[in-house]
Amino acid sequence: MNKYLIALVHIGCFLLTSCMPQSNKEKAQGQQQEVNVYTHRHYAPDQELFTQFEKEFGIKVNVVNASADELMLKMENEGAQSPADVLITVDAGRLQRAKEKALLQIINSEILTNNVPGHLRDVDGYWFGLTKRSRVIVYAKDRVTQDQLSTYEALTEDQWMGKILIRSSGNIYNQSLMASMIANLGEEVAAQWAAGILRNMARSPKGSDRDQMKAVAAGVGDLAIVNTYYVGKLLTSPDSLERAVGQQMGIFFPNQKGRGTHINVSGAGVAKYAPNKANAIKFIEFLSSEAAQEIFSSSNFEYPVNPKVNPSPLLQSWGIFKEDKLSLSTLGALNKSAVLLFDQVGWK
Amino acid sequence: MFSSFYDNAKIDKKWSLLTIAIVLLLGAPLLTILLKLFSGPGESWEHIKEYLLLDYLLNSLFLMFACSIFTLILGVIPAWLVSAYSFPFRKLLQWLLILPLAFPNYLTAYAYAGLFDYSGIYERIMVQIFNLDHVSHIDIMGIWGLAWVMSFSLYPYVYLSARSFFSHQSHGQMSAAKVLGAGRFKAFYSIVLPLARPAVVGGLLLVVMEVLGDYGSAYYYGVSTYTTAIFRSWFALEEPETAVYLSAQLCMFILFLIVMERSLRGGKKYQFNSEGSQELIKKTPKSHIQAIFMLVTIIPISLGFILPLIQIIYWASITFHEVWSTSFLSIVWSSFYLSMITAFICICISFFLIYAAKWSRSLIIQRLSTLPVLGYAVPGVVIAVGIMIPTLIFDKFLVNMTQYYLNWSMGFIINGTIIGLVFAYSVRFLAVSYHPIETSIQKTGMRFEQAAQMLGVQRWKRMLQINIPLNKVGLLSGALLVFVDTMKELPLTLLLKPYGIMTLSAKAFEYASDERIAETALPALFIIMTGLIPIFLLNRMMNV
């Protein structure tokens, strides 16, 4: 009996001491400067950048890592007491949603407006893109040639029947691509496009972007629609077979003669109730700086948003491309319509 | 004598109040969700009903039935073999059979996908070792594959409850059957198995809840389930109301299953005499039969544990230099102690609730005490909302009060602290400890306690001094199950963990969400190894 009591007391003490409440606002005014980052990005280079920021500015970076949807949910529930300073997502649609839900605040920063081009940030200054990713067509080099490819729309042609690999419609990158279709071509044409892709699919959608490329390499189909940085990751994978898959892939930027290839950004905004607002701004400014942008590009194979920074040599070897200049806020606004259309045509 | 079966009304009232308090505390998140049933779904409900629901529902039902049947076969048969027969390596096999529990099931899903991937281990072996020119591709990523993977990772729930019943309870029945001339097989089939039903169904219920609540594996395998509809309406269609509405329906369904199981049992309370706690005498069959038995028990182990483990070790070996750092040890430690605390709290609460219900005169109390188990059936993200809403109200209230009266600005006490995280885990995993403990308490029956009660021993003392030692195995297996589940838990950990604390599952997630499946292997290996310690200990204690 005594044993149990002692154990109980110990656990109680432990819980109490480890959970002594500390005020976020109070801490911010104290000596240790900090910034609380809610991020959907979980790449090793990010961690490197955070450490660099800590060293350079003497501001500690606290990270909460989860999907953007979950983080927004957390911020919504926490309300005015939320400790969040910065929200980072992997697509503009989610940032737009955060803005609409009044989770972000307007930032006036000359550094940011200089570093981030107009179409890659929010018109009102609620959020700023940090890295660009483009959703492209990859093809099996031994079976398909560049001149067979032209646009996203052309993928619905008969010649690609049973040849296309693409993941499920639950994926945000597909939803954004569909939203761009709706914005550019209207709902009706976009729905026809989705139905056409569905008809041409080599198999029912499953797995990740990498899995689509593996299936292309294995001959399940000839083409896949994926984000560019996954090709980079395959090429530098620790697994020799994944590297081999990467080497078999050719990259094609569609719609070059028209509106340009669909792009999206991973970006950040300052939380509405940020207890460390000044630090939050410094943090985002730092991520848009040339030094940080170079790391994004070289270690994570994303395109820098900062025009002063050149993409890494690997990215350059894929060629320069014309990007769809559609305002990224539109993608967020049309996200829901995109999902509804996917369901109606039966794209799982 | 019969009038003294219950304690006097005053004591009963105290216990009832405490039970209600606990149920309210743990049930608050669930009530928050269930209340949403009344506010109705959002406008995307029509869309979901028209295009998605039927398909998704059928998939979920299929998975539920398929996994139930598979886990029953994979759990009950080996449990009977290791309890009733002796054959080579029996002792080793009987604890190896629990091991798939240490795997997070999304990881088993990844590992299987990796094994049968194009140019995965399976195809490479076929090509390189057997010199086959053409290997037909096995497509594991589909609904059958999902049922397979889930069954092999979840069968230990059924196995554990069945084994603990067979090995400690069936001695008397088997002897009786033998005296009456029945063979071992017939006795098993017509006597032991029906009596084991409550225990087996308890384990099965956990399997069903896990299957219905799963999202990660199903999403990866491209199978749309009921839970997919929850996520879709919430995140893609931006309607949390509909998502919570759907989850509330899922809760009601599970509640229905529980009630149905109870009524099927027909209020029968099986009590077994003290001989029951004697271990079953093991028969030694002929040597070729022994070999067959050995093979049968090896199948679930190799497909549920060894095969995925091979893939994970392979991945870990190629990514080790990239992923390993010394901070790993502190991550292991935080995962370990969080899981220990949660396990301890869960068994305390389950034990109290079950014990209180057993001695309560009030039917309402008896029913209420099962409510908190529903937390397991709801997808993690949804339960996170259920947890955040009431706890944030409390936290904000406290912050405002101290601000107003003491002019002291304090932080949240529950949200973003270990208290909040452990509370959330407890809400989620109570069911996991509840069932083994319930079965165990039902088995022990009332005889010892009635004797103690006649001697005037108080209910508290009876609970602590008689019931804890009597139900040691049940308590321990409850603790073990909660421990391994907490180690693997993901959405709650991500949303509620304090800064500066990292867990193994959160570490694995970092890589998985970036499609770096191979890099998840190292944290996964640590989850598995840390899970092995309590599994090993428990097994030893169960054998004592």
Q: What pLDDT digit, counting tens, does each position of B374-397 carry?
A: 888 777 777 887 888 888 888 888
pLDDT digits (tens, 9 = 90+) for B492-540: 887 788 877 888 888 887 777 667 788 888 888 988 888 888 777 777 7
Cβ atoms within 10 Å of A313's Cβ, excluding its own: 9
Q: In this model, does residue B43 exceed pLDDT 90?
A: no
| Domains held by chain A: number | 2
Quick check: B236 and A339 CB within 8 A? yes
Given an 8 Å threshold on Cβ–Cβ distance, is B495 in contact with A74?
yes
Q: Is residue A18 part of a domain?
A: no
Is residue A8 included in any domain, yes or no?
no
- pLDDT band for B353, please (50, 70, 90 cuts): very high
Q: Give me the pLDDT at residue A24, please.
A: 43
* A72 lies in some domain: yes
Per-residue confidence (pLDDT) for residue A112, from 0 to 100: 94
| Residue A13 maps to a domain | no
Q: Report the range of poorest mean pLDDT among B290-294, B307-311, B511-515.
A: B511-515
Q: Are residues A333 and A297 in the same domain?
A: no
Contacting residues of B for A343, CB less than 8 Å apart: 47, 51-52
- Contact: A42, B514; criterion CB under 8 Å: yes
Please compute the mean of the pLDDT values over residues A296-310 and round it to a whole number.
90
User: Are A208 and B515 a contacting pair at CB < 8 A?
Assistant: yes
Model confidence at A278, pLDDT cuts 50, 70, 90, reads: very high
* A270 within 8 A of A284, measured Cβ to Cβ: yes
Whether A87 is covered by a domain: the verdict is yes
- Contact between chains at B220 and A208 (C-beta distance less than 8 A): yes
Same domain, A288 and A191: no
Report the Cα–Cα distance between both ends of chain B, in Å, rounded. 36
Indicate whether A146 and A215 sit together in one domain: yes
Co-location of A182 and A93 in the same domain: no
A15 touches chain B (CB under 8 A): yes
Rounded Cα distance, B385 and A274, in Å: 22
CB B163 within 8 A of CB B539: no
Q: Of A223-232, B466-475, B493-502, which has the strongest mean pLDDT?
A: A223-232
Give a three-class secondary structure readout of B21-64: HHHHHHHHHHHHHHHHHHHCCCCHHHHHHHHHHHHHHHHHHHHH
Higher-confidence position of B4 and B510? B510
- By CB atoms closer than 10 A (0-12, 13-18, 19+), residue A312 is buried
- Has residue A303 been placed in a domain? yes
The mean pLDDT value of chain A amounts to 88
B515 and chain A in contact, CB less than 8 A: yes
Q: Determine the CATH number of domain B8-35+324-544.
A: 1.10.3720.10
Residues 6+ apart with CB under 8 A from A214: A242, A245, B117, B118, B119
| Token code pair at residue A11 | 């656990």
pTM for this entry: 0.83
Q: Taking Cα atoms as reference points, which of B217, B208, B216 lies closest to residue B146?
A: B217
Q: Which of A259, A228, A249 is nearest to A150 (CA)?
A: A259
| A18 inside 8 A of chain B by CB | yes
Q: Are residues A99 and A45 in the same domain?
A: yes
CA atoms within 13 A on the CB side of B418: 22
DSSP A58-124: -EEEEEEES-HHHHHHHHHHHGGG----EEEESSHHHHHHHHHTT-EE----HHHHHHS-GGGB-TT
Residue among B254, B268, B166 nearest B204 (CA): B254
**In this prediction, what percent of chain B has a pLDDT beyond 70?**
94
Give the pLDDT score at A7.
60
pLDDT recorded at residue A251: 94
Residue A130 CB-density burial (10 A; 0-12 exposed, 13-18 middle, 19+ buried): buried
Pairing of strands A33-39, A59-65: parallel
CA B17 remoteness from chain centre: 28
Pick the CATH number of B40-266+287-321 from 3.20.20.480, 3.40.190.10, 1.10.3720.10, 3.20.20.10: 1.10.3720.10
Q: Is B141 on the interface with A (CB under 8 A)?
A: yes
Residues A113 and A126 placed together within one structural domain of the fold: yes
CB B211 within 8 A of CB B150: yes
A83 touches chain B (CB under 8 A): yes
pLDDT surpassing 90 at residue A261: yes
Would you call A204 and B222 a contact, using CB atoms and an 8 Å cutoff?
Answer: yes
Please tell me the distance from the alpha carbon of residue A275 to that of residue A115, in angstroms, as a whole number. Answer: 25
* Residue B340: closest C-alpha in chain A: A11
The DSSP secondary-structure symbol of B306 reads I
B7 at interface of A, judged by CB pairs closer than 8 A: no
- Quote the domain boundaries for residue A231: 134-262+323-345
Does B411 score more than 50 pLDDT?
yes
All residues of chain A having their beta carbon less than 8 Å from the beta carbon of residue B395 are 81
Round to whole Å and give the CA distance between A311 and A291. Answer: 12
Provide the chain B residues 227-246 that lie in CB contact (below 8 A) with chain A.
228, 231-232, 234-238, 240
- Map out the domains of chain B as residue ranges: 8-35+324-544, 40-266+287-321
Mean pLDDT of chain B: 83
pLDDT value at residue B170: 67
The predicted complex's ipTM stands at: 0.78
Same domain, yes or no: A177 and A256 = yes
Q: CATH no. for residue A210?
A: 3.40.190.10
To probe the interface with B, which of A11, A17, A174, A206 has the most B CB atoms within 10 Å?
A: A206
Q: With beta carbons under 8 A apart, name residues in chain B contacting A175.
A: 236
Is the Cβ–Cβ distance between A283 and A53 less than 8 Å?
Answer: yes
Surface-to-core class of residue B248, CB atoms within 10 Å of its CB (0-12 exposed, 13-18 middle, 19+ buried): buried
- Specify whether A231 is located in the same domain as A294: no
Among A190-204, A230-244, B22-36, B199-213, which range has the highest average pLDDT? A190-204
Place of tokens 């989620």: B428
